[in-house]
């Protein structure tokens, strides 16, 4: 097994204000190998972005009390001096933040902002290097973009400029914190494909922070699910998506909208909201929102679920209600583990994921129709029985997982 590029052990971030101490990030551990692509998913307020900022003590974590270890290439970043830590920022770990317009200086031309990351070069050499970096990001007219101000570029072009700045120092780890938040779906795909292409070309590892499980299914190698400042489940992407163990992970998957769902079908959500960091509940943090919670969940802290080998509770005895992902049609493990680093592998992973969801829809439709027949409604039962027979003959639509 190769040596981890980044290893985080029991990272905790605490703030003290007006005599009150809050801990929005508590006991987070994760590992990233060289060239690996890892995702961190969860709702807003779970501590994903703050965890990424704490890796190099970026604001506001520079004013916080940070404990634990952050080993980057074997060196503890938290124990380094301010000057040594500055060398890690950009040179070792680069960031791409959510809003590119807020990351760029509105009164500086683009080539000057990129040139700040290029040291030891003349003005002409910096301009040429900036144009070369913008060319790598796929901008159609890199010379004009280099001479422009950020306000003269679109949101997608600004995000490409931020990517060029991140690549200027040749980092070994790129942290992309919701890089497609303010972009339309077409530009989102272009930016994500660009990140994949640049990571392959430069041999970078990628840490993607996102809410979108569809992106995780087709692009990432491993995933960490965070809730209330903690990692509640982790493992290889096919294992976590096909056999989720924690009820929070199941809730996130069930909330993904499906294109082939019935027209008037209600969207599923997770009731409640993420608790405030100054009022973390005792025991399992998700217990107040969990339909399957037992008294033990409110009293004991469950272990982190690593892959599909651990149960949710400490003893694995909590009854969990039947969810769509517990049906026989989706209980089968994925037959292939696609290589998410290739275009064909990413397409195959997406087909596996969405093909599985189509089988879930098929099973749930049959179940609802059977309930109508069981009620013996003279107006609805005959039509429902005919639809059941039609579904049985047709089978799941576009069952990609069986064809691959």
Residues 235, 241: Cα–Cα separation, whole Å: 9
β-bridge mates for residue 142, sequence order: none
- Could you tell me if 348 and 338 are in contact, meaning their C-beta atoms sit under 8 angstroms apart? yes
pLDDT of residue 369: 56
Residues 268, 256: Cα–Cα separation, whole Å: 8
pLDDT of residue 118: 87
Residues 203, 196: Cα–Cα separation, whole Å: 10
pLDDT of residue 329: 33
Structure tokens at 329: 């049609």
Across the beta sheet with 6-17, what order do the strands follow? 20-32, 6-17, 65-72, 75-76
Burial 186-197 (b: 16+ CB within 10 A, else e): ebbebbbebbbe
Residues 264, 186: Cα–Cα separation, whole Å: 27
- Could you tell me if 31 and 223 are in contact, meaning their C-beta atoms sit under 8 angstroms apart? no
Q: Tokens 């489940």 label which residue?
A: 233
pLDDT of residue 152: 93
pLDDT of residue 102: 86
pLDDT of residue 269: 86
How buried is 328 (Cβ within 10 angstroms: 0-12 exposed, 13-18 middle, 19+ buried)? Answer: exposed
Structure tokens at 306: 């690593």
* Rounded average pLDDT per 10-residue block, the chain, 404 residues: 89 90 93 95 93 93 93 94 90 90 91 89 92 90 94 90 90 92 80 89 93 83 94 92 90 82 82 90 90 87 61 34 34 40 62 58 56 53 67 55 34
Q: Tokens 């050499």 label which residue?
A: 125
pLDDT of residue 366: 57
pLDDT of residue 173: 96
pLDDT of residue 371: 52
Residues 194, 312: Cα–Cα separation, whole Å: 37
pTM of the model: 0.74
Taking each helix axis as running N to C, give the angle between helix 155-167 and helix 123-136, from 0 to 180 degrees, rounded to the nearest 10. 120
């Amino acid at each position: 097994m190769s040596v981890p590029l980044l290893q985080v052990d029991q990272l905790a971030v605490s703030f003290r204000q007006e005599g009150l101490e809050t801990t929005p990030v508590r006991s987070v551990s994760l590992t990233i190998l060289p060239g690996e692509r890892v995702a961190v998913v969860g709702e807003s307020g779970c501590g994903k972005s703050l965890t990424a900022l704490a890796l190099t003590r970026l604001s506001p974590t520079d004013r916080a009390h940070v404990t634990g270890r952050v080993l980057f290439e074997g060196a503890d970043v938290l124990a380094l001096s301010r000057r040594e830590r500055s060398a890690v920022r950009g040179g070792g770990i680069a960031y791409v933040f959510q809003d590119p317009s807020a990351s760029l200086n509105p009164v500086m031309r683009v080539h000057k902002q990129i040139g700040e990351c290029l040291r030891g070069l003349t003005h002409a050499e910096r301009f040429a290097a900036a144009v070369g970096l913008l060319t790598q990001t796929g901008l159609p007219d890199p010379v004009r973009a280099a001479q422009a101000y950020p306000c003269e570029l679109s949101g997608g072009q600004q995000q490409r400029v931020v990517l060029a700045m991140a690549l200027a120092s040749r980092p070994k780890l790129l942290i992309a914190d919701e890089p497609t938040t303010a972009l339309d779906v077409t530009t989102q795909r272009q930016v994500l494909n660009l990140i994949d292409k640049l990571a392959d070309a430069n041999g970078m590892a990628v840490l993607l922070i996102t809410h979108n499980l569809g992106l995780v299914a087709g692009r990432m190698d491993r995933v960490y699910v965070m809730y209330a400042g903690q990692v509640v489940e982790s493992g290889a992407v096919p294992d976590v998506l096909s056999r989720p163990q924690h009820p929070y992970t199941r809730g996130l998957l069930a909330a993904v909208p499906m294109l082939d769902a019935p027209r008037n079908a209600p969207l599923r959500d997770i009731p409640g909201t993420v608790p405030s960091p100054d009022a973390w509940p005792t025991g399992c943090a998700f217990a107040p929102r969990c339909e399957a919670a037992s008294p033990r969940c409110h009293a004991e802290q469950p272990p982190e679920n690593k892959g599909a080998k651990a149960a949710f509770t400490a003893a694995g005895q909590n009854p969990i209600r039947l969810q769509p992902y517990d049906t026989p049609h989706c209980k089968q493990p994925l037959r292939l583990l696609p290589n998410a680093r290739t275009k064909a592998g990413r397409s195959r992973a997406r087909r596996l994921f969405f093909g599985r969801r189509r089988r879930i829809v098929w099973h749930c439709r049959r179940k609802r129709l059977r309930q109508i027949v069981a009620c013996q409604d003279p107006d609805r039962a005959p039509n429902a029985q005919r639809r059941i027979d039609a579904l049985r003959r047709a089978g799941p639509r576009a069952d990609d997982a069986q064809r691959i």
